[in-house]
Amino acid sequence: MKTKKIEPKINWNTVENVLLDMDGTLLDKHFDDYFWEEHVPEVYAKVNKVSFWDAYDTLMAKYKSREGTLEWTDLDYWTHELGLDIAGMKTKMNHLIQVHPYVVEFLKFCKTLRKKIYLVTNAHSKTLAIKMANTDIERFFDKIICSEEIGIAKEDPKFWENLAQIIPFNKKKSLLVDDNEQVLASAEEYGITNLIFVAKSSSQKPVVYSKNYPSIIFFKELITENPG
């Protein structure tokens, strides 16, 4: 049985800050899925002289063990752990990095409404640099914050407490959009009230609505002619 969509209802007059995730939210997660689940296992298999599926199983277990931690997205950690030049491999594949449909239109919409726009990501700073260099969205952000700067991943409610020390924001007047329900749950525990789940993080995967949070497929669903 498919999860019924909870429709988003945003009163833009009550929103001051827009907090946005990067991978899967603004950018197509297909790049990351392909890179980590296909390309890295392929290279790892050749280097270690094992089959693709043996490499795949080994890597999936390693990834799973670091999920929800800073190491999960730390390119330096994985370079050391796997013995591969992960940042270099990502750079060579940067042509696959794509912005989701209607993201630029949404960012322009927020600017028109004079909202503060913050990119808040678990992505490593090296990943961030690669992706900002291959997209045209960096110009829209008032500030970009990586979880390594905070010292905790977004899945931990303490992340948001620490974030508030860097960009003071009213949690009752902030909107967070993310494709990770654990992140939304931690933000909710902290007290952020406007939460939106991205139900199609990858262009190559089906829509999956959240059971707990209002969902969107594309950002055009948050653009209204008469905000308020």
Written as one string, the DSSP assignment of 141-152 is -SEEEEHHHHTS
Q: Which of 153, 220, 139, 151 is nearest to 182 (CA)?
A: 153
- So where are the chain's domains? 12-28+99-222, 31-95
pLDDT band for position 3 (cuts 50, 70, 90)? confident
- Give dist(CA 28, CA 100) in Å, integer: 5
pLDDT beyond 90 at 173: yes
Would the pLDDT of 152 be above 90?
Answer: yes
Which 8-state DSSP code applies to residue 127? H
Quick one: which H or E segment has residue 72? none
Report, as an integer, the average pLDDT of 33-49: 96
Per-residue pLDDT band at 228 (split at 50, 70, 90): low
Instruction: Write down the CATH number for the domain with range 12-28+99-222.
Output: 3.40.50.1000
pLDDT of residue 226: 65
